[in-house]
């Protein structure tokens, strides 16, 4: 492990004292004030929850509490459980019970939706404002900690439409090295200003804070109501770095951006799904001066790969290569490193690998397994379940998830290949291919799409274009049209939700 690895709260100490660190509704605070407030909140937390390693949860919109808690809980020797503010009562109750949270801090409106039985025994509830007021008045500020960097620092719950969320256990070292890695390859500096639009309960959303503060920069948290709010915030705050997921990029490219506003952005970073060739071209045209970083990651190992911006135009569909502190191997069915251009499973090795799933040994054993013999790190690795291939230059390309592949009439079909063909027509701006159970075929291909603005004959033209561009076994049995795609709590298109919708439509 690199010698510079420290407990997470030391990130508060890295910026110049008088440089801006965090833009809140009440005003901007500098890094010196950030340090003071982290220390005060940590002291209050330790007084309230003296048991080392106890879990403390937050359920609130972006603001001072949700931004400071990752560092303050770490300094107090506690484990932070950030709950996505978009989740509902049942999911939140599960997370609180599963994590064994002893303290929940949230916004009053959210807390009112919970019933007493939703809280674990002994869990204390605080309203956000009261907690911050008490912390500022308690006078028990804590200095930077000297804990074990390998100790548990956070549990991030992955969310989905089916099954209960599972908690990924991240150590101080996991999160510190993730921040260092991203700050390094994005070349972040003290003058950078990151617009934090992703949920802070999302692994890369959390890293927006940590990597920017690692570099001594400033974070502007934003809970946007409409995509145009993002444009306004970029202009108002002089934003240099914007991270988003593909559904938001699609919406942002459909807006009019004043040239001077677009020119403020130095870098665009994508995660949570692959960029299409068309979307890459639109982003490059809209933000020609910005460096575009396509990335691939797993909550279980944070980020895995990124594509050098200089290669984006020539290799727009590539996932790139391993980020700093990560080793990425493509493993074939025999457990060996796959040859060039041979499909295999992406396996992530190295110090960014999480500690497993909280209180779930069975699912941990399925995903966290010994690293392949070829690994230079050894130890435990994350076996992603994602199918990829590596070209002769070492660039990786996503093929599809093993459990998402459509198996129709004996053919293994990548949903991504059908989606890319639909998007390439220019008739639709979003597309999701699904495998629906079929007695004859095993699975039939169904395609859910959102039409491109101003296209009147898309419903008639799309099947004809797909018939020209795709082989017969890939042709959709049915195309479902949507005015808007359902978005999950992590900002991605809700594929599981679409699968349920389509099945219900067919059963009606």
Q: Is residue 195 part of a domain?
A: no
143 shares its domain with 37: yes
First to last CA, the chain: 57
> Residue 355: which pLDDT band, with cuts at 50, 70 and 90?
very high
% of the chain residues with pLDDT over 90: 80
Residue 430's pLDDT is what?
95
Write the DSSP string, 149-199: TTSEEEEEEE--SSS--EEEEEEHHHHHHHHHHHHHHTT--TT-EEEE-S-
One domain for residues 465 and 333 = no
pLDDT score recorded for residue 412: 67
CA distances (Å), origin 423, targets 320, 349, 496: 22, 34, 20
Mean pLDDT of 223-231: 95
Q: How far apart are CA 225 and CA 231, in angstroms?
A: 12
Average of per-residue pLDDT across 480-507: 90
Mean pLDDT (whole number) for 223-247 = 95
In this predicted model, what pLDDT tens digit does every residue of 59-83 receive, in sequence order? 999 999 999 999 999 999 999 999 9
- Reported confidence tier of residue 22, pLDDT bands at 50, 70, 90: very high
Same-domain pairing of 13 and 134: yes
Q: Is residue 178 included in any domain, yes or no?
A: no
Asked whether residue 114 is assigned to any structural domain, the reply reads yes
Same-domain check for residues 487 and 393: no
CATH number for position 331: 3.40.50.12780
Q: Identify the pLDDT of residue 428.
A: 96
Q: What are 443's two structure tokens?
A: 């699975």
pLDDT at 238: 98
**2: pLDDT strictly greater than 70:** no
Of residues 459 and 163, more confidently modeled: 459
In this structure, is residue 183 part of a structural domain?
A: no
User: Both 286 and 148 in a single domain?
Assistant: no
pLDDT at 337 over 80: yes
The last residue of a domain, from among 171, 190, 206: 171
> Residue 89 — φ and ψ, nearest 5°?
-50, -50
Q: Which CATH number belongs to the domain containing residue 482 in this structure?
A: 3.30.300.30
Tens-digit pLDDT profile for residues 35-55: 999 999 999 999 999 999 999
Q: How far apart are CA 240 and CA 408, in angstroms?
A: 46
Mean pLDDT rounded to a whole number for the chain: 93
Record the pTM: 0.84
How much is the average pLDDT of 500-508? 90
Domain end position, chosen among 377, 403, 429: 403
Does residue 160 register a pLDDT over 60?
Answer: no
Q: Is there a domain that residue 201 lies in? A: no
Query: By percentage, how much of the chain surpasses pLDDT 70?
Result: 97
405 HSE (CA, 13 A, CB side): 16
**pLDDT of 285-317, one tens digit each?**
999 999 999 999 989 998 999 999 999 999 999
Mark whether 390 and 414 lie in a shared domain.
no
- How many domains does the chain contain in total? 3
pLDDT of residue 3: 45
For the chain, how long is the longest CA-to-CA vector? 71
Q: What is the pLDDT of residue 403?
A: 67
Per-residue pLDDT at 496 = 86
What average pLDDT does the segment 230-243 reach? 98
Please check whether residues 166 and 70 belong to one and the same domain. Answer: yes
166 and 251 co-located in one domain: no
pLDDT tier at 264 (50, 70, 90 boundaries)? very high
Q: Is residue 197 part of a domain?
A: no
- Residues 440, 315 within the same domain: no
| Among candidate residues 134, 153, 171, the one where a domain is terminated | 171
392 shares a domain with 287: yes
373 and 231 both lie in a single domain: yes
Q: 185 is written with which tokens?
A: 């390859």
**Domain span including residue 55:** 8-17+26-171
Q: Is the pLDDT of residue 233 over 50?
A: yes
Rounded distance between C-alpha atoms, residue 209 and residue 200, angstroms: 8
Residue 467 has pLDDT above 50, yes or no: yes
What does the DSSP 8-state code read for residue 249?
A: H
At 195-217, the pLDDT tens digits run: 999 999 989 999 999 999 999 99
Please indicate, yes or no, if residue 179 is contained in any of the structural domains. Answer: no
Confidence of residue 146 (pLDDT cuts 50, 70, 90): very high
Q: Are residues 167 and 77 in the same domain?
A: yes
pLDDT number for residue 473? 81
């Amino acid at each position: 492990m690199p010698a510079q690895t420290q407990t997470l709260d030391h990130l508060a100490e890295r910026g110049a004292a008088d440089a801006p660190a965090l833009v809140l509704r009440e005003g901007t605070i500098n890094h010196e004030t950030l340090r003071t407030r982290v220390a005060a909140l940590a002291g209050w937390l330790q007084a309230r929850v003296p048991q080392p390693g106890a879990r403390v949860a937050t359920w609130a919109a972006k603001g001072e509490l949700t931004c400071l808690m990752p560092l303050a809980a770490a300094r107090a020797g506690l484990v932070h459980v950030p709950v996505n503010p978009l989740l509902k009562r049942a999911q939140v109750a599960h997370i609180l019970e599963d994590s064994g949270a002893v303290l929940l801090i949230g916004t009053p409106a959210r807390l009112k939706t919970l019933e007493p039985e939703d809280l674990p025994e002994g869990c204390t509830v605080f309203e956000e404002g009261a907690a911050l007021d008490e912390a500022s008045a308690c006078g028990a500020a804590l200095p930077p900690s000297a804990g074990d960097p390998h100790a548990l620092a956070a549990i991030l719950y992955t969310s989905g439409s089916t099954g209960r969320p599972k908690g990924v256990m991240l150590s101080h070292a996991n999160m510190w090295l993730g921040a260092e890695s991203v700050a390094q390859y994005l070349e972040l500096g003290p003058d950078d200003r990151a617009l934090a639009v992703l949920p802070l309960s999302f692994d890369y959303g959390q890293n927006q804070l940590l990597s920017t503060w690692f570099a001594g920069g400033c974070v502007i948290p934003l809970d946007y109501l409409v995509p145009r709010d993002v444009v306004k915030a970029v202009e108002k705050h002089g934003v240099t770095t914007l991270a988003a997921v593909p559904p938001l990029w699609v919406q942002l490219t459909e807006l009019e951006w004043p040239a001077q506003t677009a020119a403020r952005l130095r870098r665009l970073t994508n995660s949570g799904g692959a960029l299409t060739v068309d979307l890459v071209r639109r982003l490059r045209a809209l933000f020609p001066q910005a460096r575009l970083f396509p990335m691939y990651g797993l909550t279980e190992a944070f980020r895995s790969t990124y594509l050098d911006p200089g290669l984006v135009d020539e290799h727009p569909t590539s996932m790139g290569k391993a980020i700093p502190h990560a080793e990425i191997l493509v493993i074939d069915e025999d457990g060996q490193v796959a040859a060039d251009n041979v499909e295999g499973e992406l396996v992530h090795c190295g110090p960014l690998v999480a500690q497993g799933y909280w209180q779930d040994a069975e699912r941990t054993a399925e995903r966290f397994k010994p690293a392949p013999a070829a690994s230079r790190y050894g130890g435990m690795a994350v076996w992603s379940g994602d199918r990829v291939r590596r070209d002769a230059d070492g660039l990786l390309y996503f093929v599809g998830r093993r459990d998402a592949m459509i198996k129709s009439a004996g053919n293994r079909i990548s949903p991504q290949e059908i989606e890319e063909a639909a998007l390439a027509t220019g008739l639709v701006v979003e597309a999701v291919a699904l495998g629906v159970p079929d007695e004859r075929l095993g699975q039939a291909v169904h395609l859910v799409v959102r039409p491109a603005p101003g296209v009147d004959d898309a419903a008639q033209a799309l099947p004809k274009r797909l018939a020209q561009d795709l082989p017969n076994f890939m042709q959709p049995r049915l195309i479902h049209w949507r005015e808007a795609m359902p978005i999950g709590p992590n900002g991605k298109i809700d594929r599981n939700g679409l699968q349920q919708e389509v099945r219900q439509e067919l059963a009606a």
